[in-house]
Structure 1
Amino acid sequence: MFQTTNYSTDLSANYSLLSKQLDALLEGEKNVIANLSNAAALLNQFFDQINWVGFYLVEDGGLVLGPFQGLPACVRIQLGKGVCGTAAETQETIIVPDVHAFPGHIACDAASQSEIVVPIVKDSKLVGVLDIDSPVKERFSSEDAEGLEKFIEVLIKHI
């Protein structure tokens, strides 16, 4: 669900509007860090029941912390490790209803209970991942995955 009352109860329509807002927000800006920062802030503003949203970017064969909203986070994650590293390695979106049940979960924030990670692939090359954590179990759905994948498609045009 989204925080802002301007959104409807139609999750698909909300994601469509969110992607359009992202496109307008980033239009004309070429700085990757600025665009990822605004994308994280936009997601943080519109979601409820989340405690962290941000990006990990590919660097030196692993992931390094990028722009985010939330408490301080793990700085480096190896490919294949934790939810972010696994999503990066497989290049597939991962929804984790209960992070404590995910083998090898990396606990950066003890309050996190569920997580969704969406890989960012541009021109067939892994750029990084979008990571969103929630203090509520089973917070994320397949509709969230689909909506966030479309959000990433828009973001890729601006990074």
Structure 2
Amino acid sequence: MTEAEQDHQDDAGEDDATEAEPGARPTVMVSGEIPGYEWDDARGAVRNLGYEVVGRADSSTVLIICGEGAERATKKLQEAVEYLLLCFDATRPGAFRDAVCAGEFRGGDPLPEPVKVDAQAVKAKSEAQAIRDWAKAQGYTVNAKGPIPASVRHAYRVAAKQAA
């Protein structure tokens, strides 16, 4: 999954933040999966404590809650640094549950290090997807994942040379 796809998946169902209105609830970003909680349940617990869950940081954002895989959402981590947000490490055993029971999230944990994107791996994945798309359009049978048969790769490259 690409970084952009991960950010999109992370943000699915969360509203983009807008500038805070006076008296508006403080906002938090949630990144990654919270151990022991379904996606909706974790965000519902945060909302029940009076926070609004958003996909993008703004001036009303007070915290980023980092679950498992948060390091893949590099855009959220960059925004957390930009807005000087506190981090709550929800991967620590029982930390999220304890915060919900206490009625408050306290930040101060270190932000996870963002995943380094390997440009060659991204290029190889996009080429593989282009080959799969082309092959399907040409009537070849290819799996959505896994190795692409050498004969299909060869046919794709021949067709690409002819088109150029």
TM bin, normalised by shorter chain, reads: under 0.3
Q: Could you state the TM-score of these two structures normalised by the residue count of structure 1?
A: 0.23
Q: Could you state the TM-score of these two structures normalised by the residue count of structure 2?
A: 0.23
Which structure: greater strand fraction?
A: 1
Which structure: greater helix fraction?
A: 2
